Amino acid sequence: MSTASKRASARKTYRTEWVDRWSPPKPLVGLQAIEKVLNRHTFLVTPESRLVVAVLARAIHDSLSLTNRRMRREARRFLLGDDLTLWCDLVGLHPDFVRFVARKAGYLADEKAHWQKVPIKVPVYSVPPEPVVSASSAPVHSITCQAHTHQPQGGLIHA
């Protein structure tokens, strides 16, 4: 077999499959701008209130995570659930205001509206053909060894 034919047989082939991929819109503002807006609306600016606002801003940022589906789901559950109320009460923010800021900034995008079908290439591995084994009608002869005095049994080969 020549080298060119070996390369041709080892060449991968691909087929195209369509898969769903979440592709949200790009946010309109950065995370620092959101932190500034939320810090301006707290009732008292202290290091502790800045920490709470940083947690809220991080949850807003994680709600658009492209790489970690679990983190995105947990951040969205936090922002849309009742836990946000507990955190907002610590600094005097209204949870609806935090959700409003997240939506207007482009971070709290609708989960179902931004799924798209995209093509991906999937390698197709060719399966080598199975060797064909056929039963022949020719009789099998036994081989006897001169050093041993075994009797041939059913056409088996003795060494």
Query: What is the SS3 assignment for 140-156?
Result: CCCCCCCCCCCCCCCCC
97 has pLDDT over 90: yes
What would the mean pLDDT of 62-77 be, rounded to a whole number?
86
In a domain, 132, yes or no: no
In a domain, 9, yes or no: no
DSSP reduced 3-state for 107 = coil
In a domain, 22, yes or no: no
In a domain, 46, yes or no: yes
Q: What residue numbers bound the domain in which 87 lies? A: 30-110
What would the mean pLDDT of 52-62 be, rounded to a whole number?
93
Which carries the bigger pLDDT value, residue 127 or residue 94?
94
At residue 142 the predicted structure's pLDDT band, cuts being 50, 70 and 90, is: low
In a domain, 76, yes or no: yes
In a domain, 78, yes or no: yes
Tally of structural domains, the chain: 1
Write phi, then psi, for 106 (nearest 5 degrees): 95, 15
Q: Which of 75-84, 98-107, 123-132 has the lowest mean pLDDT?
A: 123-132
CA distance 58 to 87: 13
Is residue 91 within 8 Å of residue 52, measured between CB atoms? yes
Burial of 103 (0-12, 13-18, 19+ CB in 10 A): middle
In this structure, the number of other CB atoms found within 10 A of the CB of residue 6 comes to 10
pLDDT, tens digit, 9 for 90 and up, residues 8-50: 455 678 787 777 765 667 778 888 999 999 999 998 889 999 9
The reported pTM is 0.58
Residue-level pLDDT at 123: 82
In a domain, 17, yes or no: no
In a domain, 103, yes or no: yes
